[in-house]
Structure 1
Amino acid sequence: MISLNYRDSRPIYEQIEDGLRKLIVTGALGADEKLPSVRALAAQLAINPNTIQRAYNELEGEGYIYSVPGKGSFASANAGADEARRRELLGKVRELLAELRYLGVSQQELTDLVKEVFA
């Protein structure tokens, strides 16, 4: 499900966030599907439950998951609906596009890539 890289400069909770976000965005975790409990995922990854809780809190703040008291955390049906997160990602895309343009990537190559992603 999620693998951690202890040589990565990013904190563990960010790696967990990214892993879960990827599972949700790609559809590996469907809408309203239950995520592992904080304790279960912490035991599986052999890390502190507080680290998992922090990742879950961040994902909930971004709109990727939601919590139901007494039931657990679930993948959101409208993952990424948070407007601030949307603006942040669009800014990153602009930066990447500017760099790709500088490196000589053609508009047609980028158009083909976008069509591939949205297919």
Structure 2
Amino acid sequence: MDINFDAAYPIYEQVIEEIKKELVRGELRPGEKLPSQRKLAKKIEVNPNTVQRAYREMEQRGLVETKRGRGTFIKDDDQVMIEIKKDMADTAVKEFIDEMISLGFKKDDILEKINRNLKRRDQDE
């Protein structure tokens, strides 16, 4: 896990987002054990309390579960994965649209650019 931290957002939230991205990309799987809080803190060079808060928040959001004496595990629940993928996709699309509108593009221009780039991507594959 490599995170380029953005000073505009709380670090613990960025840790959560990175774990969610790893889940969506298949780098982490439901039921998989996460590194200990101390080990992850050392790896990403943050205070262990920051990782502790991220793990606690993820548990409250139903993303992970802590098994006493065994560690913290990604919740083995297909519905959780579906929700994470949906939420992350919706967020990415909203941010893209907001940025395009802030650059002065209209709806038709945005759709045309998306379609053109999707066609180009299909040709490259």
TM-score range, shorter chain: 0.5 to 0.7
Amino acid at match of 1:51: T
Larger Rg: 1 or 2?
Answer: 2
- How many residues are aligned here? 112
1:79 Cα offset (Å): 6.1
What is the rounded CA distance, in whole Å, between the counterparts of 1:25 and 1:44 in structure 2? 21
Decide whether the 8 Å contact of 1:4 with 1:12 is kept in 2: no
1:89 Cα offset (Å): 6.2
1:42 Cα offset (Å): 1.3
Deviations 1:31-66 (A, max 9, x none): 211100011111222321110011111122222221
What is the rounded CA distance, in whole Å, between the counterparts of 2:89 and 2:2 in structure 1? 26
Per the alignment, residue 16 of structure 1 pairs with: 15
Decide whether the 8 Å contact of 1:42 with 1:52 is kept in 2: yes
Amino acid at match of 1:44: K
Matches within 5 A, 1:14-93: 14-78=13-77, 81=80, 92=91
Query: Is it true that 1:104 corresponds to 2:124 in the alignment?
Result: no
* Structure 2 residue matching 1:73: 3-state secondary structure: strand
Q: 1:95 to 1:43 in 2, by over 3 A?
A: closer
1:95 Cα offset (Å): 4.5
Decide whether the 8 Å contact of 1:64 with 1:79 is kept in 2: no
What is the rounded CA distance, in whole Å, between the counterparts of 1:57 and 1:22 in structure 2? 18
Q: 1:86 to 1:62 in 2, by over 3 A?
A: farther
Q: CA RMSD in A?
A: 3.6
TM-score normalized by the length of structure 1:
0.67
Q: Give the structure with the higher percent helix.
A: 2
